[in-house]
A = this chain, B = another copy of it.
């Protein structure tokens, strides 16, 4: 079964420092995936693909020496977070292959919902699969002999796959940037000096001082080559769109702009809508950092109740942190965020968070607030209750672990131990994002999936249990 993945992609064409700029681009996209990182570059003079991939943060995977080896005037990069138990180098991207279409390198963000059935079909035709990433099917489809040229084979492959994908493909002639017809995941085009750059988010352009040009359109396959830009569309230009609204709520960086709307601004507006829907008489508005910061600010502004960042974040939590042996209660919550008790004592507190998924952390936080002397605790959430899984690239837990899938709102409030609980309504969320020039996928709140997925998905998963796994050291 294919793991669910969250990812970021970056690409640059026609720059002598292509690998170095890709490195900085990935750095700015690190929030989209912290498990593995990779860069592939190509030097037309040497006619040579090079790739460096590794487990860990961008700053851990690359060093001066590996960056220097990634020569060439074009490059693509990838950061990835996988939700399967075993994190593995095997699936680190870009995937680089040699096939009938020459050498190809692919970096992909999203989930292909019909990957398992395509894979079965391709295996029956003689293909062998070496990763457990759904992205691999795109390359196999391209490699099939039917299609003559690369453009045709890429368009054909993308017509076969269903689901969410924002991806960049490097060939020896140039770079493709493609987005699925509904535009689930972000992808945008920029320019630095005379070179085009592609990134999952605009924050990467800011870092390298590139100029934002435009978003890649849903269904667009943009080729960047010697002759500049050339646009293709997967199934002709479509009008229906389904951009993942959770990118605004949580996933994207606040300094990124998507579909013309700045993410931090959207979040402030969500907070304001929330204050209108669920006002309460209280003393302070406390954000859950960092995801709740802007919504809390919006709530405070709208309500006139003072904003107080009473949770202090520990910036030094590393991967290797040692869990205490049942020594300290609620440790895992406090280790990341410590309360300023002085600010809470005797106060009626509104806590604003971006979402509640399992509820475990939110519940422990209420205990913390009570211990610190909060008189009342009111929880406000800047999106509707999560009731359904995402099939398009955001990793929510199993529906049975989704609190709102199991309990009614008032029971959730009791479970969390809060005095009141308010979720942003679907309408208000859409309203908060009104300035975005797109329509939205809100399947995780509504269960209405814009793209069908195989109903036998679960059955196939069981059948495929044997799929090989890499043991990490």
The answer to whether residues A327 and B21 also contact, given A27-B314, A64-B322, A338-B206 and a CB cut-off of 8 A, is: yes
Contacting pair B320 A60 (CB below 8 A): yes
The answer to whether B48 and A318 have CB atoms under 8 Å apart is no
Q: Does A406 contact B (CB under 8 A)?
A: no
| Copies held by the complex | 4
* Stretch with Cβ within 8 A of B (4 or more), from A275-283, A328-336, A386-394: A328-336
Selecting from A136-144, A230-238, A410-418, A446-454, the interface stretch reads: A136-144
**Are the CB atoms of B321 and A59 closer together than 8 Å?**
yes
CB atoms of B322 and A23 under 8 A apart: yes
Indicate whether A316 sits within 8 Å of B57 (C-beta atoms), given known contacts A129-B97, A322-B62: yes
Size of chain A's interface in residues, with CB distance under 8 A? 112
- Bound together, the chains give a CA A324 to CA B24 distance in angstroms of 9
Q: Measured between alpha carbons, how far is A97 from B472 in the docked complex, in Å?
A: 17
Once the chains are docked, how many angstroms separate the CA of A335 from the CA of B203? 11
Residues in chain B near residue A62, CB distance under 8 A: 322, 473
Proximity bits, A248-277, B CB within 8 Å = 1, else 0: 000001110100001011000000000000
A164 at the interface (CB under 8 A from B): no
Question: Quick check: A20 and B327 within 8 Å, CB to CB?
Answer: yes
Closest 5 CB pairs of A and B: A59-B318, A49-B468, A262-B342, A52-B471, A47-B466
Beyond the given pairs A47-B466, A207-B334, 16 more chain A to chain B contacts, judged by CB atoms under 8 angstroms and listed by A's residue number, are A24-B328, A24-B335, A28-B314, A28-B338, A48-B469, A62-B473, A63-B320, A63-B473, A96-B468, A98-B128, A98-B468, A209-B334, A255-B338, A255-B339, A264-B340, A290-B315
Residues of chain A touching chain B, judged by Cβ–Cβ distance below 8 Å, are: 17, 20-21, 23-24, 27-28, 30-31, 34, 40, 47-54, 57-67, 69-70, 89, 95-100, 102-103, 105, 123-130, 139-140, 143-145, 172, 203, 206-209, 253-255, 257, 262, 264-265, 290, 293-294, 297, 301, 306-310, 312-322, 324-325, 327-329, 331, 334-335, 338-343, 465-473
